[in-house]
Amino acid sequence: MELSLLVIFWYGILHAFGPDHLTAIADFSIGKAKKKTLLITTLFAIGHGLSLFVFAKILKSIDISEDILAYGDIISASVIIMIGLYLLFMVVTDRIHLKKHLHDGKEHLHIWFGSSHNHNSIDTTSSFSIGVLMGIGGVRGMLITLGAVKGGDVDMMMVLAFTTGVMLVFVSFGFLILFINQNFLGDIKNVRRTFTIAGVISLVVGTNILLG
């Protein structure tokens, strides 16, 4: 791998460790099964990587002020805050539910929001969409990185290198969330406590970005 792609790959790894990204991953992955947890983290990484590069490419060709770029951080922070408020609302209104059942001789847990338990793809599609939205918040850092490699030109290999770096961290963090899901969410009390903590952390992280 040439040096420029290694720089982009490493930047993807460093970028993924942002508290707003890990908070969003946790919010969407808590209480999910193994396959869904890994799918959520992967889709978040893909959406985040593609959108960040697209916006960076667009803004690279436009003379745009730092004040306008700062709106990306506001969008990212607002997304995290809204997720936190939503989780806390679900906890306060007692709309988080837990059901245990046996499947092929193994106990399975199902956690869902609302009055009815149904299987849909809203979590996976939402994780991709949130990844796209939060990609806007990283545009300033990406512009700096692009300025250091290939004269700021963006190609698909750079997109792949960055997304791979991001995905490496997100999927690894997904395994941590999976461990929590499998070992600490065995009863509804712990489930509500976990979502309360996730909601509060989301508010703190989002607010800190806005005030920073």
CB proximity list for 131: less than 8 A, separation 6 or greater: 24, 43, 44, 45, 46, 47, 48, 49, 51
Tens-digit pLDDT profile for residues 13-49: 888 888 888 888 888 888 787 788 888 888 888 888 7
Tens-digit pLDDT profile for residues 135-179: 776 666 666 565 555 555 666 777 788 888 888 998 899 888 888
Report the number of distinct structural domains present in the chain: 1
Range of the domain at 172: 3-80+118-186
The pLDDT score that the predictor gives to residue 109 is 67
Question: Does some domain include residue 30?
Answer: yes
Instruction: Name residue, tokens 């947890």.
Output: 37
Question: Does some domain include residue 197?
Answer: no
Tens-digit pLDDT profile for residues 103-126: 666 666 677 676 655 555 566 778
Asked if 46 contacts 162 with a C-beta cutoff of 8 angstroms, the reply is no
Tens-digit pLDDT profile for residues 40-76: 888 888 888 778 777 767 766 776 666 666 677 788 7
Q: What is the pTM of this model?
A: 0.76
